[in-house]
A and B are shown apart, each in its own frame.
Chain A
Amino acid sequence: MLHQKRAKTGLAIIVLTLLSHASFAIPVQEQKALDPIAEEKGLNISREVDQRDMGWTDSTADMLMLLRNEQGHESVREIKIKSLEQDRDGDKSLTIFNQPRDIKGTAFLSYSHVGKADDQWLYLPALKRVKRISSKNKSGPFMGSEFSFEDFSSFEVEKYTYKYVGSDASNGIDSFMVEQYPIDENSGYTKRVVWVDKQDYLIQKIDYYDRKNSLLKTLSYRNYQQYLNKYWRADSMHMVNHQSGKSTELKWKNYQFQTGLKDSDFNRNSLKRTR
């Protein structure tokens, strides 16, 4: 009886191990099958994108989010975002909602991490309640938009593995094409294909492939502006969902860098206070 039980447990462990391998299998094999030079080049391009955007310290910006359904009906969200760069970890950010009016004052605090789950808190002003929330939900839509939570989390080189797949100038800008495979198994994507322009290493376009490896969304960056003679930010980001026909446009305003924000602007007290 006891032996039988043991045997069953053993079997269960094997099945579990196989399953967890299977979820990694597709991207890993796809990469490994190809030459390490492409991996190295993909990594280097992505690292260069990251490196060129380092040192901004902190930033604040206002974002207008325009949600459009298949019929072209539009809905607006007005959001303020404050971010604080971290040297050896993911960034800290505070997101404050101003519209729609029924959620005005709602705020979202996030400490993003490399190699472990992000810490996230939500402040609900009607109840004056701060709720720690699960950050495992990466693939879910952000505020009913075509952006998911992970689309908003800060880019860290360690979050992906890479493959350089070639050059493309079809949109008029000579760009590298790099495939990025998320390491986190909770990601909603099997891969992202990123177009990085060869001159300034700015992301021009991203194709997102869903868990079934079919093309889900395309994000296009428009009207890059340079701040402090160094940091480039797009005025407009347009996400189109090819499967649902819906789209979301982000319009950025009032970008400010090195405003003097500190760690103390990103704690549970400031979460309750900031507007």
Chain B
Amino acid sequence: MPPLNITKTVAAVSLLLSHSASSAEFEFSGNIGIEDRYFFESGLHTEQLEHSQASLSIEPELYWSWNKGRDNLTFKPYYRIDAEDSERTHADIRELSYIHAADDWEVRAGIRKVFWGVTEFQHLADVINQTDGVENLDGEDKLGQQMLNLSLVKDWGIVDLYVLPGFRERTFSGRESRLRGALLVDEDKISYESGAGDQHVDLAVRWSHSLSNYDIGTYWFHGTNRDPILTSFQEGDNLVLRQYYEQMDQFGLDVQATLGDWLWKFESVYRDSSTEDFWATQAGFEYTYVGIFDSAADLGILVEYSWDSRGEGDVNSTGSSYQNDLFLGSRIAFNDIQSSEVLMGFGTDLDHNAYSFLVEANRRFGDNFKASLDIRFFQSSTPSDQMYSLKNDDYMQLSLEWYF
């Protein structure tokens, strides 16, 4: 989003507030984080950063509520500055949103983030927000999405209607960055199937409900595909990838069965666009041992499987990178004062020799600091595999966040 828009929005917000400030409750919070990634090996490409990548991020949140909390306004800008990758240095409005809640309906307007789904290793059903690809590999960081959302609470579930005016392009790492493909993605020459380009108005409707031990959600989405088709072009001396965003219709379903210590999880989508239509599924379970070894700690075991009807990529199609993949994970929550937690995960492609391994550990220090250690290893011996370009990018990341 251009800086001009931010200034305008802030002006609009402060104007709005000066009217309601008298009875409003105001909260200011947020976090500032510093992190350093250390890559154990040199990159596959000479222009990539050597070993260390330091970065700082800030995410304040301003929150006003009035009318006993039935009306509220949230403003959450975000900024990251990266010492090595100019594309990772970026700003975003994660949230600038107004909510009015009545007894059985709620309207939410502005820039927001919406999460749909139940699984842990891949978020297939989650479709509303664009991925902020420069943040992390896991795709869990999202760009704010403009929307008007009416939520209706019925005895038979919650119905959410969305009008999504305008589209955000995915962010991609720059030349100096690690954890990227062999070719750089052109951030300027972007094309769309729709004549409206990035101004296409997308629509979505979702029904979700809790029926005894089952939590079910299903939706239909019509609009711009958040996943671009990347095609290589010769630009001067360089071969680059250009982004093309199609229109799509997507049907999605997510179900979780909570049966004692077992959580059974299932997500499936059917996507239809001009170039392809396919089914994909992510399914598995999470089992928790409460109080392992007579301690307060819990151990969770996670198993998930991904399937995609497109299969592996070949000369005719790019295929899917999660077409026949198995994920195993364990989560230890120590349940101590510092909320210490360790998550370990292992993912492997059952069709060829590729795997990834991750460790995420974090704990609180004092009342306002949180430290995290992330380790990721990648292995692939098949040059056509998407993970092949990451095979030299094993890294360890240490981060410290201050919450205020």
Chain A residues within CB distance 8 Å of chain B = 67, 69, 75-76, 99-104, 117, 119, 127-134, 136-137, 139-141, 143-144, 262, 264, 267-270, 273-275
- A134→B151 CA distance, assembly (Å): 26
CB proximity of B187 to chain A, nearest CB, Å:
26
Q: Which of A75, A100, A104, A273 contacts B99 (CB 8 A)?
A: A273
Chain A neighbourhood of B335, CB < 8 A: 140-141, 144
Instruction: Write the B288-307 contact mask toward A (1 if CB under 8 angstroms, else 0).
Output: 10110000101000000000
Instruction: Across the A-B interface, give the 7 residue pairs with the lowest CB-CB distance, nearest first.
Output: A101-B403, A144-B337, A128-B115, A129-B115, A264-B103, A137-B290, A102-B403
Stretch of B192-200, B253-261, B344-352 with 4 or more beta carbons under 8 angstroms from chain A: B253-261
Inter-chain contact B403/A139, CB cutoff 8 Å: no
Q: Report how far A132 CA is from B257 CA in the complex, Å.
A: 9
Closest A-chain residue to B140, C-beta based? A127
Minimum distance in angstroms from A151 CB to a CB of chain B: 14
- In the complex, which residue of chain A has the Cβ closest to the Cβ of B339? A144
B337 touches A262 (CB 8 A): no
CB distance from B367 to the nearest CB of A (A): 5
Question: Of B72, B290, B338, which one neighbours A273 at CB under 8 angstroms?
Answer: B72
Check if B63 sits within 8 Å of A275, measured CB to CB.
yes
Task: Find chain B residues with CB under 8 A from A100 CB.
Answer: 364, 367-368, 403
A59 to B230, CA, bound (A): 55
Nearest residue (CB) in A for B296 is A141
Complex Cα spacing A99 to B99, Å = 24
Give the chain B neighbours of A129 by CB distance below 8 A.
115, 117
Minimum Cβ distance to chain B for residue A250 (Å): 15
CB-based contact A136/B260 at 8 Å: yes
Indicate if the CB atoms of B151 and A269 lie closer than 8 Å. yes
B218 at the interface (CB under 8 A from A): no
* Number of B positions contacting A (CB below 8 A): 48
Instruction: Give chain B nearest CB distance to A257 CB in angstroms.
Output: 16
Q: Is the CB of B290 within 8 A of A119?
A: no
Q: From known contacts A100-B364, A117-B260, A144-B335, infer whether A132 and B401 are also in contact, taking CB-CB under 8 Å.
A: no
Tell me how far the C-beta of B404 lies from the nearest C-beta in chain A, rounded to whole angstroms.
6
User: By the criterion CB–CB under 8 Å, are B298 and A137 in contact?
Assistant: yes
17 residue pairs of the A-B complex, CB under 8 angstroms, read: A100-B367, A101-B404, A102-B401, A119-B210, A128-B114, A132-B215, A132-B263, A133-B258, A133-B263, A139-B291, A140-B335, A144-B339, A264-B103, A269-B151, A273-B106, A274-B69, A275-B63
CB nearest neighbor in B for A142: B335
A233 to B47, CA, bound (A): 67
Q: Among A101, A137, A139, which residue has its beta carbon within 8 angstroms of that of B288?
A: A137
Determine the chain A residues whose CB is within 8 A of the CB of B113 once the complex forms.
Answer: 128
Name the CB-closest residue of A to B212. Answer: A119
Q: What 4 new A-B contacts, CB under 8 Å, besides A136-B290, A268-B158?
A: A99-B367, A132-B263, A134-B262, A137-B288
Chain A CB within 8 A of B361 CB: no
Given the complex, which residues of A lie within 8 Å of B367, measured CB to CB? 75-76, 99-101
Residues on B with beta carbons closer than 8 Å to the beta carbon of A275: 27, 63, 65, 69, 72
Within 295-339 of B, Cβ neighbours of A (below 8 Å) are at 296, 298, 335-339
Task: Tell me if B131 counts as interface (CB < 8 A to partner A).
Answer: no
Give chain A residues whose Cβ lies under 8 Å from the Cβ of B401: 102
In the bound assembly, the distance between CA atoms of A268 and B152 in angstroms comes to: 12
- Residue in A closest to B337 when the chains form the complex, CB atoms: A144
Residues of B contacting A144 in the complex (Cβ-Cβ under 8 angstroms): 335-339
Bound Cα distance A23, B298 (Å):
22
Report yes or no: A136 in contact with B153, Cβ–Cβ below 8 A. no
B208 beta carbon closer than 8 Å to chain A: yes
Contacts of A127 in B (CB 8 A): 115, 140
Q: Knowing A132-B256, A262-B103 touch, does A75 contact B291 (C-beta < 8 A)?
A: no
B104 interface residue (CB < 8 Å to A): yes
A102-B401, A144-B338 as given contacts; A269 in contact with B258, CB under 8 Å? no
Are A264 and B258 CB-contacts (below 8 A) given A99-B367, A101-B29, A139-B291?
Answer: no
Give Cα A253 to B69, complex, Å.
Answer: 19
Whole-angstrom distance from the CB of B313 to the nearest CB of chain A? 30
Q: How far is the CA of A140 from the CA of B153 in the complex (A)?
A: 33
Beta-carbon nearest neighbor of B63 in chain A: A275
Task: Assess whether B101 is interfacial by the CB under 8 Å rule.
Answer: yes
- Chain A residue at smallest Cβ distance from B214: A132
Query: Which B residues from 350 to 378 make CB contacts under 8 A with A?
Result: 364, 367-368, 370
Task: Give the chain A neighbours of B288 by CB distance below 8 A.
Answer: 134, 137
* A102, A103, A268: residue with the most chain B Cβ atoms closer than 10 Å: A102
Rounded to whole angstroms, the CA-CA distance of A67 and B103 in the bound complex is 37
Q: A249 CB to closest chain B CB, in angstroms? A: 14
Contact of A69 among B31, B140, B208, B337 (CB under 8 A): B337
Whether the pair A134, B101 counts as a contact (CB closer than 8 A) is: no
Q: Which residue from chain A places its CB closest to the CB of B290 in the assembled complex? A: A137
Within 8 A of A (CB), among B1-55: 27, 29, 31
In Å, the complex CA distance between A101 and B401 comes to 11
Taking CB atoms, residues of chain A closer than 8 Å to B404 are: 101
* Residues of chain B lying within 8 A (CB to CB) of residue A131: 118
Q: How far is the CA of A273 from the CA of B140 in the complex (A)?
A: 21
CA A274 to CA B70, docked complex, whole Å? 9
Question: Given the complex, which residues of A lie within 8 Å of B370, measured CB to CB?
Answer: 102
Residues in A with CB closer than 8 Å to B298 are: 137, 140
Query: Would you list which residues of chain B between 95 and 125 have a CB under 8 Å from chain A?
Result: 99, 101, 103-104, 106, 113-115, 117-118
